[in-house]
């Protein structure tokens, strides 16, 4: 008995009959033993019916979630695209603004330089106007009117010296320049000069056109010089009245 237990112990019996039930007996199930534990949930397969409502609900739910995620993804992409477009527009506007600002800066710089040149030219022109021979003084009246006062104007003609008077030249920027005799020595006060009637100069065409160019070019020193030279001369063909008829001459 003891020898049989040593040769053929009880645990060999259990192993032998366990393998017998598992592999050699058709349709038999495994017998649990203290050595090996079998989980029924791991060996058995749960069958699912194709027409199960819960199965179809699960499928629909997955599709809905997938569609919602795709919709949110599309919304995020569209928002990013709109944001990129807005950033591009801002960059374009910034570049245009910088270009406009630079252009305006260049224009302002050019205008400032032009203004400085004009101011320098005007200052030099004023100094030359004061130093013009025959000019007594220069005044700047209201509304941009320039008054050039002359010294006593005399005309020598045929051995006679005629005292014409002291004049004021009115320059207002227009081509029409008025000249007024402030101390008229003539008998008819309508004539300020043989070539001037009520302030209007009877100027020949060959002098009138250059005079207009000088006035429009703000060359007032040259304008005053030409008028003063004209006041000191006598041109019978361009005169309103004969010199000797209205002014008294003195023998030179």
What is the predicted pLDDT for the residue at 15? 56
Q: Under a CB-based contact definition with an 8 Å cutoff, are residues 150 and 230 in contact?
A: no
Integer angstrom CA distances of residue 99 from 91, 92, 95, 106, 142: 12, 10, 6, 10, 42
How far is it, in rounded angstroms, from Cα 154 to Cα 21?
157
> Which uninterrupted H or E stretch holds 193?
strand 191-193
**What mean pLDDT comes out for the span 103-110?**
68
Task: Name residue 152's beta-bridge partners.
Answer: 166
What is the predicted pLDDT for the residue at 37? 46
Task: Tell me the per-residue pLDDT of 7-26, one tens digit each, with 9 for 90 and over.
Answer: 445 555 555 555 555 545 44
What is the predicted pLDDT for the residue at 152? 92
Domain ranges of the chain: 56-131, 135-251
What are phi and psi for residue 30, nearest 5 degrees?
A: -65, 140
Integer angstrom CA distances of residue 220 from 103, 138, 160, 252: 34, 11, 32, 33
> Which uninterrupted H or E stretch holds 160?
strand 160-171
Task: Tell me the per-residue pLDDT of 56-67, one tens digit each, with 9 for 90 and over.
Answer: 777 777 878 888
Strands 160-171 and 196-197: unpaired
**What mean pLDDT comes out for the span 42-60?**
64
What is the predicted pLDDT for the residue at 83? 87
| Local confidence band at 70 (pLDDT 50, 70, 90 cut-offs) | confident
What is the predicted pLDDT for the residue at 32? 44
139: Cβ–Cβ under 8 A, 6 or more apart, which residues?
146, 147, 149
Nearest to 224 by CA among 139, 117, 161: 139
Range from 81-95, 117-131, 186-200 that averages highest in pLDDT: 186-200
Task: Tell me the per-residue pLDDT of 186-238, one tens digit each, with 9 for 90 and over.
Answer: 888 889 999 999 889 988 778 888 888 888 888 889 999 999 999 999 988 88
């Amino acid at each position: 008995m003891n020898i049989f237990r040593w040769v053929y112990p009880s645990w060999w019996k259990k192993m032998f009959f366990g393998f017998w039930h598992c592999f050699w007996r058709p349709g038999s199930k495994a017998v649990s033993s203290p050595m090996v534990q079998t989980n029924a949930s791991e060996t058995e397969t749960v069958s699912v019916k194709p027409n199960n409502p819960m199965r179809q609900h699960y499928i629909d739910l997955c599709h809905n979630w997938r569609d919602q995620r795709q919709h949110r993804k599309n919304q995020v992409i569209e928002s990013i695209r709109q944001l990129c477009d807005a950033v591009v527009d801002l960059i374009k506007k910034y570049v245009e603004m910088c270009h406009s600002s630079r252009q305006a800066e260049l224009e302002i710089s050019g205008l400032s330089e032009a203004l400085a040149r004009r101011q320098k030219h005007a200052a030099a022109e004023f100094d030359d106007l004061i130093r013009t021979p025959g000019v007594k003084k220069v005044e700047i009246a209201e509304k941009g009117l320039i008054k050039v006062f002359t010294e006593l104007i005399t005309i020598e003609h045929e051995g006679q010296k005629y005292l014409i008077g002291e004049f004021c030249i009115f320059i207002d920027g227009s081509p029409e320049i008025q000249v007024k005799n402030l101390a008229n020595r003539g008998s008819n006060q309508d004539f300020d000069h043989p070539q001037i009637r009520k302030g209007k100069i009877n100027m020949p065409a060959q002098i009138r056109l250059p005079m207009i160019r000088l006035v429009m070019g703000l060359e007032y020193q040259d304008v005053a010089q030409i008028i003063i030279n004209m006041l000191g001369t006598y041109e019978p063909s361009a005169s309103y009245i004969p010199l000797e008829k209205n002014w008294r001459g003195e023998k030179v």
